[in-house]
Structure 1
Amino acid sequence: MKNYFAIVLLLIPTVLWAQGGSYTIDGKLAGIKSPTKAYVRYRIGSDIHADSAQIQNGAFSIKGTIEEPKQVALFVDKSYALIYLEPGTITVNSADVLENATIGGTPLNVDYQKLKTMLKSSTDKMAQLMKDYQSATDVQKKSKAFEESIDKRNEAIQAEQKKIKAQFIQENPNTVVSLDVLQQYDYTPDYAEVSPLFDGLSGAVKNSKSGKEYAKMLAGIKATSIGSISPEFTQTDTAGRAVALSSFRGKYVLIDFWASWCGPCRVENPNVVKNFQQYKDKNFTVLGVSLDRPNAKEAWMKAIHKDGLDWTHVSDLKFWDNEVAKQYAVRSIPQNFLLSPDGKIVAKDIRGEALGKKLEELLTAKP
């Protein structure tokens, strides 16, 4: 399931212009009979904070205070639901379990419930797709026909969800929920698609802290659109030497964003190796940019050697704060950008067979 192979930088955004204060979460989950605990976890600065309450006969009441409204996860046992913590009384009601709960009581949660209702049909389809995939045998999962069938269904559901999300954003320009939906609209957003949606938001939403951060990211997406000249950068390689992107001018270059800890990246690496070996003598190379964690240089280098990645690698070892990743608006990995010899971006986010086909198109001499 190739589209599930992205490791996403989950932005729990929502730093709003509203004031913080006291909140109460009043819940009733008819499907929960035995005593257990409900809790929310959220970050205050660099600290993780938790508020909780016991569930008795399906009912609970969590109380706390927040500095500013934010989207968080409400947990009950191994299940969770996203809610907005904001001043007031938040209601969580379900005839059975948490996943099926209706969230309301406060403005942002009313808006978010509206979105969930709009998405319910496609969400159910995605849940069924996951069940079908997980229940398949190992033999089925290795079948190309099965994989293509799953991918086709997944792509159709994602397209349906994007259409609904765009409708919600357009119909609800005054709520920060729309900004949050836009931030999570796509792993690799297309500027021409998301820019008009952002422009349609109210001034208050766009001028919020999260709105300004998204506008900055949007500028990065525009700068790395297909047809643009790739932004210049310099970062150190495994030996500590500075490597400039411009030093690769004159060749086709695949800027490959990955990390040793990224499972999907490691799954894709053999495909990149295969294409590198096939086309390295035809004016093509790869430049790896790693999002490995601080103090993880050994893991980074070990992965390079183990996977046979015989090309130049750079990193500042800042995890998701990698300066090049931020410059290129990278929010998920693996992700890549294919550059022409003059530095123009000719393709992006191409993996699997698509990478080989694109390189064949560009690098194989035509009769």
Structure 2
Amino acid sequence: MKKVFFLVVAFLPFLVQAQTEETFAIKGKLGNLGAPARAYLIYKLGANQVIDSSLVAGGSFDFKGNILNPTNAILVVDHKGIGFNKLDSTADILHFYIDKGEFAINSPDSAKKAKVTGSKINDDDKNLTAQLEPIKARAQVLASEGMKAGAEKNTPEFRSAMQAKYKKLQADQKTVIKKFILGNPDSYLSLLALYDVDGPSPDPFELDSLYKTLSPALRNTETAVNFMKALEPLKHTAPGAMAPDFTQNDVNGVPVKLSSFRGKYVLVDFWASWCGPCRQENPNVVRVYNKYKEKNFTILGVSLDRQGARADWLAAIKNDGLNWTQVSDLKYWSNAAAALFYVSSIPANFLIDPNGKIIAKNLRGDDLDEKLKEVLGK
């Protein structure tokens, strides 16, 4: 989705099928801007990116085209007529949504100051953006706090405190997005917002429940149908599901099977030597392992390192003190175990009980300690 959802990223791709195209028309006015200025419109039509352009005369420009569904778009204004390919990150840009029908974009002088009128999805976006603005401001303050930190930023205590603050921000953002979805069952933005309720680690059952609150008309769109198709596999690795079994070689080339750990609580920890956040989290994982390793608990590390980087993998294990079973097929993001667990970002982990059932996932910092304390006792 657009920049409004600043803490998380969309976790599932749209699957495009045959759909009926709808027409749109944009009437634009940017003060008295004129030649050599040109406006560019960038948006998606199915799997294709469309880049259209219009001369700006007397401040006016217009675009017409087709879309399959409401889609996010970018208006870029080339004030000096230097050409689209020469524009950079300093260009005059407006992010908005294209929907079917006619709507207007107006500004006294520039795209970045423009207002979109006559479009429900853009009105909804403005509403949701305003609700998320205080959370965005807090996130910026927190990011500044992290940048300004000195040597203490490398301590487990500082990382744990920052993690807790970000967790609170994400929880507050989730509350706002859920409230919007529940309050706007007819809005296409509510459907798009489903992708951002839980970020890269979604609860498929929660999303399924929210999906069912959408209007029948919205649920009948192909985007909604494809959303549910893509969501279904995630239920196989959600808490409550039996963990899929796999076998990969350890550091000595000996095959290790996940099911061989039955009878113990095991944390399947997906990481890599090249993954900075993984390496930062490793001291916490080591601490927790040493605390609970005598209490029917162990860890199975699965590395997403590359072919040719075996030495880096082994060095990271040694340097970080990861004294538990480590496996990898050295296939990077094509790691077979990661595919089974639908891992799309790392670090990622799954806590599995002695019967092979997943009971929690993506536990970080103190959350991992608290969960193990809960299931293993103090």
Question: 1:232–1:244: 8 Å Cα contact kept in structure 2?
Answer: no
Partner Cα separation in structure 2 for residue 75 and residue 287 of structure 1 = 48
What amino acid is the match of 1:40? I
Report the counterpart of residue 20 of structure 2 in structure 1: 19
Range with bigger deviation, 283-292 or 163-172: 283-292
What amino acid is the match of 1:312? Q
Query: After superposition, where does 1:175-324 map in structure 2 within 5 Å?
Result: 175-187=187-199, 188-190=201-203, 193-226=206-239, 228-234=240-246, 236-237=248-249, 244-259=257-272, 262-276=275-289, 283-289=296-302, 296-299=306-309, 301-308=310-317, 309=322, 311-314=325-328, 317=331, 319=333
Which whole-Å deviations, capped at 9, do the CAs of 1:260-307 have from their partners, x for residues lacking one?
554322322343345446655654333344566xxx4334x3542232
One of 89, 105, 116 as aligned partner of 1:78:
89
Which whole-Å deviations, capped at 9, do the CAs of 1:66-94 have from their partners, x for residues lacking one?
56235345275437664334444554456
Query: After superposition, where does 1:320-339 map in structure 2 within 5 Å?
Result: 325=338, 328=341, 330-339=343-352
Residue 117 (structure 1) aligned with residue 130 (structure 2): yes
Question: 1:66–1:86: 8 Å Cα contact kept in structure 2?
Answer: no
Residue 40 (structure 1) aligned with residue 42 (structure 2): yes
Q: CA deviation at 1:210?
A: 3.3
Q: CA deviation at 1:105?
A: 4.0
Q: CA deviation at 1:202?
A: 2.3
What amino acid is the match of 2:218? V
One of 174, 180, 187 as aligned partner of 1:168:
180
Q: CA deviation at 1:135?
A: 5.5
The higher radius of gyration belongs to: 2
Report the counterpart of residue 3 of structure 1 in structure 2: none
Partner Cα separation in structure 2 for residue 73 and residue 237 of structure 1 = 46
Partner Cα separation in structure 1 for residue 101 and residue 140 of structure 2 = 32
Partner Cα separation in structure 1 for residue 349 and residue 68 of structure 2 = 36
Q: Quick one: structure 1 residues 107 and 335, their matched pair in 2 at CA, closer, same or farther if it must change by over 3 Å? A: same
Q: Quick one: structure 1 residues 231 and 211, their matched pair in 2 at CA, closer, same or farther if it must change by over 3 Å? A: farther
Q: CA deviation at 1:170?
A: 1.4
Report the counterpart of residue 356 of structure 2 in structure 1: 343
Partner Cα separation in structure 1 for residue 173 and residue 155 of structure 2 = 27
Partner Cα separation in structure 1 for residue 29 and residue 369 of structure 2 = 53
Q: CA deviation at 1:255?
A: 1.6
Q: CA deviation at 1:338?
A: 0.8
Partner Cα separation in structure 2 for residue 286 and residue 62 of structure 1 = 59
Partner Cα separation in structure 2 for residue 260 and residue 63 of structure 1 = 49
Question: 2:304–2:328: 8 Å Cα contact kept in structure 1?
Answer: no
Question: 1:7–1:333: 8 Å Cα contact kept in structure 2?
Answer: no
Query: After superposition, where does 1:56-67 map in structure 2 within 5 Å?
Result: 63=63, 65=65
Which whole-Å deviations, capped at 9, do the CAs of 1:109-132 have from their partners, x for residues lacking one?
3433332233334334434443x3
TM-score, normalization: structure 2?
A: 0.69
Q: Quick one: structure 1 residues 8 and 109, their matched pair in 2 at CA, closer, same or farther if it must change by over 3 Å? A: closer
Question: 1:72–1:82: 8 Å Cα contact kept in structure 2?
Answer: yes
Q: CA deviation at 1:166?
A: 1.5
2:308 counterpart SS class: helix
Which whole-Å deviations, capped at 9, do the CAs of 1:9-40 have from their partners, x for residues lacking one?
6546496986335555556678x999797553
Q: CA deviation at 1:215?
A: 2.6
Question: 1:254–1:285: 8 Å Cα contact kept in structure 2?
Answer: yes
Partner Cα separation in structure 1 for residue 43 and residue 359 of structure 2 = 43
Report the counterpart of residue 3 of structure 2 in structure 1: none
Q: Quick one: structure 1 residues 278 and 125, their matched pair in 2 at CA, closer, same or farther if it must change by over 3 Å? A: closer
% identity of equivalent residues: 33
Q: CA deviation at 1:185?
A: 0.6
Question: 2:160–2:366: 8 Å Cα contact kept in structure 1?
Answer: no
Partner Cα separation in structure 2 for residue 70 and residue 302 of structure 1 = 48
Q: CA deviation at 1:41?
A: 5.8
Structure 1: 5+ residue runs without aligned partners?
1-5
What amino acid is the match of 2:187? T
What amino acid is the match of 1:305? L
Partner Cα separation in structure 2 for residue 206 and residue 274 of structure 1 = 46
CA RMSD of aligned residues (A): 4.6
Q: Quick one: structure 1 residues 360 and 112, their matched pair in 2 at CA, closer, same or farther if it must change by over 3 Å? A: closer
Report the counterpart of residue 69 of structure 2 in structure 1: 69
Partner Cα separation in structure 1 for residue 24 and residue 206 of structure 2 = 36
Partner Cα separation in structure 2 for residue 290 and residue 218 of structure 1 = 25
2:51 counterpart SS class: strand
Q: Quick one: structure 1 residues 312 and 126, their matched pair in 2 at CA, closer, same or farther if it must change by over 3 Å? A: closer
Structure 2: 5+ residue runs without aligned partners?
1-6, 77-87
